[in-house]
Amino acid sequence: MLFGPSLESSGCLLNGFGASFDGPSMKVLVTGVDGYSGWPLALHLLARGHEVVGVDSFVTRRRVREVGSWSATPIPSFPNRQKAVREVLGKELGFHRGDLGDYAFVHELLAREKPDAIVHLAEQRSAPYSMIDVHHAVATQVENLRGTLHLLYAIRDTCPKAHLVKMGTMGEYGTPNTDIPEGFFEMEFHGRKDVVPFPRQAGSWYHWSKVFDSGDVMFASKIWGVAATDVMQGVLYGIRTPEITDRRLLTRFDFDETWGTALNRFITQAVLGLPITPYGKGEQRRGFIALEDSMQSLRLAVEHPAEPGQYRVFNQFDAAYSVNELAEITARVATEFGLAPVIEHPPDPRVEAEQHYYNPVHEHLLALGYHRTRQLEDVVREIFHDLVHFRRRLEAKRHVVMPTVQWRSVDSRPALEARAPPSPSASPVGRDEPASEGPPA
């Protein structure tokens, strides 16, 4: 059995595969296909010749509305997204609407589809959302762990040969004062040595849910022989991938304090003429990867599956940036668009080191043939260019960009609701997002 540290010793990564892949087309189930990364992944795999079936409950659409926001890019209903795929790419994207929290649904889905690979992206993915209050913390951890456990049991019972590509996050590791290996490292204690999982020091209830998920996937791999790739992904950036050639194929761009990444919020602030606001000292460093290159990485993981019983970990990021660097790049590119943003430093609402060592290793994907295709500054320029078309949608929600959710001991829900009550008109689930407050998409 290949398990964890045996990854390198098996030689499958280091001597393995080049960038080109001539294998047979695969059937891939993408959970979270309506989301920011699930959507472009489905397009990428279809374009590559794979059969893709997606699943989603549309809970992210509902939760973004819950905090009074929306995606800057209007997102069509799922049937209209499928229609656009048909018309633009000439491909058929299968879809099942359902919640991974419903085990009967998950079991039936896997029994019917019998996928070769499952890319599991369908989780509550916002750290601030998980920090709002006890209910959001519990929902995040219960839902994320339940969905993963349901998939693991359904794989065991219906499609034991399926390869699970589970999306974790670089945030599982936290910011230790040492280099960060890919999943495992050699530990020596009281004169004895072993290769063990690298300690996780997550920074939110959301990130801890990912840590617990990792333990569950590793354990299922050990006891049932599930083939598993656990992807420690850096923060994503960008709205476009080569398959997104039509506005109807655009993916989400979230920019509110809860769902938007720091970079998305900085660009939005610059577009709206607001100060760019790195929290605290702004020396917090994280790993980042462009959306397009994340799709490349996930496709490589799918096309070069783990062995039965192998649990392998990929640190999926390209480069580390501090939030100050993100702010400076954003401000520099903004000037090319005639904007003149200032940078301000509000107090950090999170509890995190504002200055720290950060040096994660990332070699496994390179060994599979991964190569970086996008540079951060170019993608930032592309985002500015795209957001010009959706400026009015940003304007309509300019009050949701600054932080109200606090990591410290206050429930943030009252402040959040006082600032941005959910829009009563924005109720449809899985329907076209209203474009009436912006130019037609």
Tell me the catalytic residues: 169, 206, 210
**Looking at beta carbons only, is 122 or 313 nearer to ligand NAD?**
122
**Looking at beta carbons only, is 288 or 311 nearer to ligand NAD?**
288
**Looking at beta carbons only, is 167 or 401 nearer to ligand NAD?**
167
- Residue 63 CB, nearest distance to ligand NAD (Å)? 8
Decide: is 56 part of the binding site for ligand NAD (CB under 6 A). yes
Among 30, 58, 257, 364, binds ligand NAD (CB under 6 A): 58
**Looking at beta carbons only, is 56 or 318 nearer to ligand NAD?**
56
With CB under 6 A as the contact rule, which of the stretches 27-35, 181-189, 325-333, 383-391 interacts with ligand NAD?
27-35
Residue in the shown chain whose Cβ atom is closest to ligand NAD: 35
Decide: is 137 part of the binding site for ligand NAD (CB under 6 A). no
Decide: is 57 part of the binding site for ligand NAD (CB under 6 A). yes
User: How many residues contact ligand NAD, by CB under 6 A?
Assistant: 27
Task: Please report, as residue ranges, which positions from 71 to 110 form the binding site for ligand NAD (by CB under 6 A).
Answer: 99-101
Decide: is 262 part of the binding site for ligand NAD (CB under 6 A). no
The 3-state secondary structure of the chain, one letter per residue: CCCCCHHHHCCCCCCCCCCCCCCCCCEEEEECCCCCCHHHHHHHHHHCCCEEEEEECCHHHHHHHHCCCCCCCCCCCHHHHHHHHHHHHCCCCEEEECCCCCHHHHHHHHHHHCCCEEEECCCCCCHHHHCCCHHHHHHHHHHHHHHHHHHHHHHHHHCCCCEEEEECCHHHCCCCCCEECCCEEEEEECCEEEEEECCCCCCCHHHHHHHHHHHHHHHHHHHHCCEEEEEEECEEECCCCCCCCCHHHCCCCCCCCCCCCHHHHHHHHHHHCCCECCCCCCECEEEEEEHHHHHHHHHHHHHCCCCCCCEEEEEECCEEEEHHHHHHHHHHHHHHCCCCCCECCCCCCCCCCCECCCEECCCHHHHCCCCCCCCHHHHHHHHHHHHHHHHHHHHCCHHHCCCCCCCCCCCCHHHHHHHCCCCCCCCCCCCCCCCCCCCCC
Decide: is 370 part of the binding site for ligand NAD (CB under 6 A). no
The residues of the shown chain that bind ligand NAD, judged by CB under 6 A, are 32, 34-38, 56-60, 99-101, 121-123, 125, 143, 147, 167, 169, 233, 235-236, 252, 261
